[in-house]
Chain A
């Protein structure tokens, strides 16, 4: 079940607020759907983020998926480890496989996202298709 220390989008990203910083990645459900990740196209530090607009792409051998930003803000760090080891997204999507860190324009915005419980309900529904 999805970790309860963070929030979720319906596009299968997670966002966790740590002090002034929001860390963003994709969920275990998403990485399973994608298959083996071969590359993550990362934004540049300083890029502006808009809620629910694409900020990067995650590629598997057979698919390319947009990454949608859960919140508005500014990119302050990207996970450079993904360059040499994109498989981190598959192996450890909630920790070592983080994708970017952002400074949110509005720290309260994260509370508008799905809770872990709501996200679990969403993925159970999708799995039945």
Chain B
């Protein structure tokens, strides 16, 4: 057994102290009928063989370090400064427990207070929690907040909300009002039309911007419409985009959520991820999840503790608004380190590079015969209309060693010829030109 230190002599010593003869007697309370089964786990691999086995599995995957992958749609490739994994992999951070004993956990607690503060800076709001599982569950939690705050029941969501996010709201049983958006023509929300759909029972309007098709939405106008109807605005944002885009707070949002993975976390096939949640001070006690606050110790020294815990499951039990009892602590730490390394000037710089490269790509693709790109404003992700079904385009470009984008037909049947392309600072001009050439060859 690879990680246990016990020798037979150690076991003998413990058995003698307990006063039993064999390990098997430890389980004598279990009915023998429950002990008989075939245990079909593969045989053990010593570490060298384990490395070989998993190394082979990893090598079977086409990854972004060797091939350009122009995919976004909720998970993004970005430059991750080397100091992020170097610091976060310190055993003091990665192998520490939840900071319930603050006297020996100030590293984690202070880092989480700083993380919360940076999320507020990004979103333009007053208070944030120490993260939840991912952007989709953050949105689900935000809808619960809105329902508790307003006392109303329904949540209005556009069809341009990421389908997985929509699916999570359905799984959680959130009563939804769907706002249909014309996905082919002008895939963004019309405030006038939305106003007509917000009934007295709507607790909140959810507006992702960029939306799933990469198109920017007008949070300010939509916040006004929601507030006139007595509803809250829940803004779902992209955190890197907030380097150059107006944030939810400045636009009048009441609650903001985001997928924080773009902040220095590798895509890693979809997880672990990072759910960001921020809101106004007056809604602080409705905010679920872990929250770190400032405190003084017995010697009068300032430090940090988990606070506002009476909201949580271990105390409220069935009265808790949520059953959540963890945060994505180590992932939040990585995001905080990333935001510190890039900082006030660096995050806008990276966002600008994304925007410039993506718009360059869009211009060049739009100039290809038989291809089209919409005129709607976008940040780094845009829809390409292809001359043949997008699945076929993607297949042919893959043969040239590139992943061109997401064929949207699998999520929206009417968009069978549409490809969602994402360009960030990890895609060089050469990568982009190669993509354009490959698309041109297909068309």
Chain A interface (Cβ within 8 Å of chain B)? 38-39, 41, 57, 59-64, 66
Contacts and interface: CB of A to CB of B under 8 A. Distances in A.
Q: Is the interface of B mostly helix, strand, loop or mixed?
A: helix
Nearest to A63: B315
Contacts of A62: 309-310, 315
B53 interface: no
Contacts of A57: 319
Contact of B285 (A41, A60, A63): A41
Given A38-B310, A39-B310, A59-B310, A64 B285 contact: no
13 contacts: A39-B285, A39-B308, A41-B285, A57-B319, A59-B310, A60-B310, A62-B309, A62-B310, A63-B310, A63-B315, A64-B311, A64-B315, A66-B319
Contacts of B316: 64
Interface string B154-187: 0000000000000000000000000000000000
Contacts of A66: 319
Contacts of B308: 39
A43 B228 CA distance: 24
Contacts of B319: 57, 64, 66
A64 B315 CA distance: 7
B179 to A, nearest CB: 30
Interface string B299-314: 0000000001111000
Contacts of A59: 310
A61 B309 contact: yes
A62 B316 CA distance: 10
Interface in B335-351: none
A63 B309 CA distance: 9
Nearest to B309: A61
Q: Is the interface of A mostly helix, strand, loop or mixed?
A: strand
A38 B319 CA distance: 18
Contacts of A41: 285
Contacts of A64: 310-311, 315-316, 319
Contacts of A63: 310, 315
Interface string B363-386: 000000000000000000000000
> What 6 A-B pairs have minimum CB-CB distances, sorted nearest first?
A59-B310, A64-B310, A64-B316, A64-B315, A63-B315, A63-B310
B60 to A, nearest CB: 51
Contacts of B311: 64
A38 B285 CA distance: 12
A33 to B, nearest CB: 15
Contacts of B315: 62-64
A63 B316 CA distance: 7
A59 B319 CA distance: 13
B109 to A, nearest CB: 16
A41 B308 CA distance: 13
B338 to A, nearest CB: 33
A64 B319 CA distance: 9
A41 B321 CA distance: 14
Contacts of A60: 310
A53 to B, nearest CB: 14
A63 B312 CA distance: 10
Contacts of A38: 310
Contacts of B310: 38-39, 59-64
A62 B315 CA distance: 7
Contacts of B285: 39, 41
B180 to A, nearest CB: 35
Nearest to A58: B310
Contacts of A39: 285, 308, 310
A48 to B, nearest CB: 13
A62 B285 CA distance: 16
A41 B309 CA distance: 14
Given A62-B309, A64-B316, 12 more contacts: A38-B310, A39-B310, A57-B319, A60-B310, A61-B309, A62-B310, A62-B315, A63-B310, A63-B315, A64-B310, A64-B311, A66-B319
B34 to A, nearest CB: 38
Nearest to A60: B310
A41 B311 CA distance: 11
B86 to A, nearest CB: 37
A54 B162 CA distance: 39
Give the one of B285, B310, B311 with max A CB within 10 A: B310
B151 to A, nearest CB: 9
Nearest to B314: A62
Give the one of A38, A61, A64 with max B CB within 10 A: A64
